């Protein structure tokens, strides 16, 4: 266990570095904006700053037009970040190095299971994480070579039974055991794309991020990321998982919730950037009433206390509120 690297949020000699890590598979939505706001407010209230990373790992889903729109939207809302944006599509060598380091610890193995095999083995209930049962962990070299003739393998990392504690700034202490919560997980996909879990820890360390603020849907990824940080000797980060916005039926916001898209708020309702920031700050309890506020005003006046132990917030069409 690497304990010397733990980031202590109360240690003011280490500046707080938060991050925005959008995936350019579409326009940012209210949930992304909310987590960017909180990341920004947290870092700046502690005298720190944020960095930007474009998570364009997945070549099939990432589009240049979405990257351009992300920059326009971040600018329009007034977000600033230190340094140049990092693009995951340009970081393959760094991921390969981390992959090789894990491989040299004899922790990786090829997995030939198809999606259909995995679903046949276990169909997770909605909201439940998939737990890999280790099917390919003990294949012999001959079996691996035989299977590799018909299928490119993904690579999984062996996990242990040790307890991993995530002491989340908003969601409190969560105890995990990776064997029970995810099983051996993928670090490189069968199309040779490095997996999100690996890329994110390599990049957070590279960008000197020490405060990871994002949606609570990623809380269950935190123990996998902590595990990789420990193995790779990377600094631990503080996690702060913000509640998810849900629609009035309690479902995650998605494309069917047009009233939560930026194009609806900006183009149809004609709201300004500060009105939208103020609305989200008001809905999440950071401010007491819906006012038009800038990011710098939020840094001065917003309280993030209301986010503690809250897992969801209902999104209401602002035109029904005003
Ligand atoms: N790129 C991910 C997203 O847009 C966020 C990943 C992270 O914050 O770790 O949902």
pLDDT of residue 175: 97
All CATH 3.40.50.620 domain ranges in the chain, comma separated? 17-89+243-316
Expressed in percent and rounded to 5, the helix, strand and coil fractions of the chain are: 40, 15, 45
C-beta of residue 234 within 8 angstroms of C-beta of residue 292: no
CATH classification code of 17-89+243-316: 3.40.50.620
Topology at the third CATH level for domain 93-197 = 3.90.800
Residue 35 CA to residue 295 CA, distance in Å, equals: 13
Strand pairing partners for 49? 17
Task: State in Å: Cα 214 to ligand 1 middle.
Answer: 7
Alpha helices in 56-135 (DSSP H): 64-77, 92-104, 115-121
Task: Report the predicted TM-score, pTM, of the whole model to 2 decimal places.
Answer: 0.93
Pairing between β-strand 163-168 and β-strand 172-177 as defined by DSSP bridges: antiparallel
Tens digit of each residue's pLDDT, the chain (322 residues): 333 344 554 555 689 999 999 999 999 999 999 999 999 999 999 999 999 999 999 989 999 999 999 999 999 999 999 999 999 999 999 999 999 999 999 999 999 998 877 877 766 666 677 899 999 999 999 999 999 999 999 999 999 999 999 999 999 999 999 999 999 999 999 999 999 999 999 999 999 999 999 999 999 999 999 999 999 999 999 999 999 999 999 998 877 888 899 999 999 999 999 999 999 999 999 999 999 999 999 999 999 999 999 999 999 999 998 6
DSSP state of 173: E
All CATH 3.90.800.10 domain ranges in the chain, comma separated? 93-197
Strand pairing partners for 313? 245
Residue 138 CA to residue 283 CA, distance in Å, equals: 50
Task: State in Å: Cα 253 to ligand 1 middle.
Answer: 16
| Residues near 101 by beta carbon (within 8 Å), at least 6 away in sequence | 231, 232
- How distant, in Å, are the alpha carbons of 127, 225, 229 from that of 121? 17, 25, 30
pLDDT of residue 14: 82
C-beta of residue 233 within 8 angstroms of C-beta of residue 204: no
11: three-class secondary structure by DSSP = coil
Residue of 19, 23, 74 to mutate, ligand 1, most atoms within 8 A of C-beta: 23
Task: State in Å: Cα 22 to ligand 1 middle.
Answer: 6
């Amino acid at each position: 266990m690497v304990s010397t690297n733990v980031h202590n949020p109360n240690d003011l000699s280490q500046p707080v570095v938060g991050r925005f890590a959008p995936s350019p598979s579409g326009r940012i939505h209210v949930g992304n904006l909310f987590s960017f706001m909180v990341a920004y407010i947290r870092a700046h209230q502690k005298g720190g700053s944020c960095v930007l990373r474009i998570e364009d790992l997945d070549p099939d889903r990432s589009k240049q037009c979405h990257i351009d729109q992300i920059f326009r939207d971040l600018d329009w809302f007034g977000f600033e970040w230190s340094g140049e944006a990092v693009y995951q599509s340009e970081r393959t060598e760094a991921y390969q190095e981390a992959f090789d380091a894990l491989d040299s610890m004899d922790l990786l193995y090829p997995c030939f299971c198809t999606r259909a095999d995995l679903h046949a083995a276990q169909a997770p209930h909605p909201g439940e994480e998939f737990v890999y049962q280790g099917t390919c962990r003990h294949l012999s070299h001959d079996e691996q070579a035989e299977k590799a003739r018909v299928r490119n393998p993904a690579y999984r990392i062996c996990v242990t039974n040790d307890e991993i504690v995530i002491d989340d700034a908003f969601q409190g202490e969560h105890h995990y055991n990776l064997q029970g919560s995810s099983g051996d997980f993928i670090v490189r996909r069968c199309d040779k794309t490095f997996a999100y879990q690996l890329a994110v820890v390599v990049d957070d360390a590279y960008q000197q991020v020490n405060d990871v603020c994002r949606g609570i849907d990623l809380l269950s990824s935190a123990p996998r990321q902590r595990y990789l940080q420990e193995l790779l000797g990377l600094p631990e980060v503080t996690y702060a998982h913000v509640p998810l916005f849900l629609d009035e039926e309690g479902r995650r916001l998605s494309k069917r919730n047009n009233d939560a898209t930026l194009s609806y708020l900006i183009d149809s309702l004609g709201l300004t950037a500060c009105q939208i920031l103020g609305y989200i700050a008001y809905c999440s309890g950071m401010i007491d009433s819906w006012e038009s506020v800038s990011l710098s005003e939020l840094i001065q006046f917003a309280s993030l206390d209301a986010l503690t132990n809250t897992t969801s917030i209902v999104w209401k069409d602002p035109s029904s509120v005003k």
